[in-house]
Amino acid sequence: MSKQANTPKSLDTLFIKTYGCQMNEYDSTRMADMMKEAYGLRLVAAPADADVILMNTCSIREKSEEKVYSELGRYKKLKDKRPDMIIGVGGCVGQQEGERIQQRAPYVDIVFGPQTYHRLPEMVKEIRRDRVCLTEVDMPEIEKFDHLPKAKSHGFVDCVTIMEGCDKFCTFCVVPYTRGPELSRPVADILEECTQLLAGDALEISLLGQNVNAYRGIGPDGDEWDFTMLLYAVAELEGLKRLRFSTSHPMEMTSELCVAFGEIPQLMPYLHLPVQSGSDQILKAMHRGHDREHYFRIIDELRQHCPDLALSSDFIVGYPGETDADFEATLDLIRRVGYDTAYCFKYSPRPGTPAGKSADDVPTEVKDARLQQLFTLMREQTRSAMESSVGKTVDVLVEKNSRDEGDMQGRTSDFKIVHFKGNPRQIGQIMPVRITEAYGQSLRGELVLTGE
């Protein structure tokens, strides 16, 4: 009788809170697939409705650890009412903080890193059986992909992680310490996962990695393949209409990869190529491995092969030692390149990084002023990029219903969001749309009917 009383209730529902990049989104999707296969868990939209709550965290931004603990405080109130609830903290903050999380928040059942989430079903089983708390933050060599369930398409746009980790060791970045060294999956495994997704609903695939173009994996021929070779192989897969990748590093942008933008029809004319600063002095201090002229040469070569290429980037203002002249060099680089969009941030020291040991000597008010200047310039460039589409007829992959009744939403080949009057039957199709209006972050268009 007592044994029956101690038997934990069945698990039915799962809530996942995801922070950070596309790779975290991919990981969260795979966690959900895995927990559904192991326990039949269905995803719910609210943590209060969940039997298992998982946080997939990111440690890139300022005060990321404190944001995690703040969120955990809300989950504690739920667990106080339902002690059988399981709470797990994964991702980069899980990797970085490890057992400190359970010391500070003892109601957390599982702490795991980006390379160990494939062990979640076994960890949940052990917790339910032995009533223990577990921490799994070792970094096995990319073994998780061998233990994940068969990939399932979750829509018309899917992602595939092709490599993990980073060897660049930029001075401001925690990724090499939370994700480990660069490790590439075998080509055959990647092609198999892409094929599985394309056999479902997928029409577009994004290849992901911390430095995705640093990919070096073993090919079916036993030789090492670089990223460009992999791109050509993925492009040949039946059913693939669109191909993208993220995130790239300038030091891995080869001439062959630039040529691929002109030769592979499925490779979309959009590239996210972070530069962080336009100042050679700051780039050197950041240990980026390139200078501004190197970056300009890459952009010129890319546009030689793909004149309509849309570009986005990342910028950090207020890095230690950044002067007014350094910041002006960044503005100059942005004006010369002409981006469609950019992600701009104030520098904040990350624990354990080399830059974190330097004096954070740019005053907050100076960082704020520079960030606002950056935002102003980027809003101008984004508006210009949007307005340049007006009057053009573009192919739009219709992804979903838009917010307004009767509207559909999709993306152009260069990654711009388009809204137009349409029909839900068009979801999953690539439709010609004439752009009629440009907004701050999206476009408005009219469907071009056959015969027009």
Dump pLDDT digits (tens) for 4-37. 445 567 889 999 999 988 888 988 998 999 999 9
Averaged pLDDT for residues 228-256: 97
More confident residue, 283 or 64: 283
- What pLDDT, on the 0 to 100 scale, is given for residue 270? 98
Averaged pLDDT for residues 196-219: 95
Residue 411 phi/psi, 5° resolution? -125, 145
Q: How far is CA 56 from CA 64, 66, 102, 345, in A?
A: 12, 14, 16, 22
Nearest to 210 by CA among 394, 361, 26: 26
More confident residue, 177 or 87: 87
- What pLDDT, on the 0 to 100 scale, is given for residue 78? 96
Nearest to 208 by CA among 349, 114, 348: 114
| 270 close to 308: Cβ distance less than 8 angstroms | no
Averaged pLDDT for residues 408-434: 96
More confident residue, 98 or 309: 309
Averaged pLDDT for residues 409-436: 96
- What pLDDT, on the 0 to 100 scale, is given for residue 298? 98
- What pLDDT, on the 0 to 100 scale, is given for residue 22? 83
User: How sure is the predictor about 139, in pLDDT bands with cuts at 50, 70 and 90?
Assistant: low
Averaged pLDDT for residues 104-113: 92
- What pLDDT, on the 0 to 100 scale, is given for residue 4? 40
- What pLDDT, on the 0 to 100 scale, is given for residue 138? 72
Q: Is the pLDDT of residue 147 over 70?
A: no
Q: How many CB atoms lie within 10 A of CB 366?
A: 16
Name the 3-class secondary structure at 157. strand
Residue 140 phi/psi, 5° resolution? -65, 160
Q: Is the pLDDT of residue 309 over 90?
A: yes
- What pLDDT, on the 0 to 100 scale, is given for residue 96? 85
Write down the mean pLDDT value for the chain.
Answer: 92
> Rounded to whole angstroms, how far apart are CA atoms 116 and 140?
8
- What pLDDT, on the 0 to 100 scale, is given for residue 198? 96
Q: Is the pLDDT of residue 333 over 80?
A: yes
Residue 410 phi/psi, 5° resolution? -155, -175
> Which of left, alpha, beta for 438 (phi over 0: left; psi -120 to 50: alpha)?
beta
The tokens describing 184, both together, are 């590439």
Q: Is the pLDDT of residue 375 over 90?
A: yes
Q: Which residues pair with 446 in a beta bridge?
A: 434
> Rounded to whole angstroms, how far apart are CA atoms 123 and 135?
9
- What pLDDT, on the 0 to 100 scale, is given for residue 285? 97
The tokens describing 203, both together, are 């029409």
- What pLDDT, on the 0 to 100 scale, is given for residue 327? 98
Q: Enumerate the H helices of 239-288 as residue ranges.
A: 255-263, 280-285
Q: Is the pLDDT of residue 380 over 90?
A: yes
User: How sure is the predictor about 266, in pLDDT bands with cuts at 50, 70 and 90?
Assistant: very high
Averaged pLDDT for residues 360-370: 96
Q: Which of 34-38, 136-140, 311-315 has the lowest mean pLDDT?
A: 136-140
- What pLDDT, on the 0 to 100 scale, is given for residue 367? 97
User: How sure is the predictor about 62, in pLDDT bands with cuts at 50, 70 and 90?
Assistant: low
Q: How many CB atoms lie within 10 A of CB 369?
A: 14
More confident residue, 130 or 237: 237
The tokens describing 355, both together, are 């830059």
| 443 close to 409: Cβ distance less than 8 angstroms | no
- What pLDDT, on the 0 to 100 scale, is given for residue 144? 62
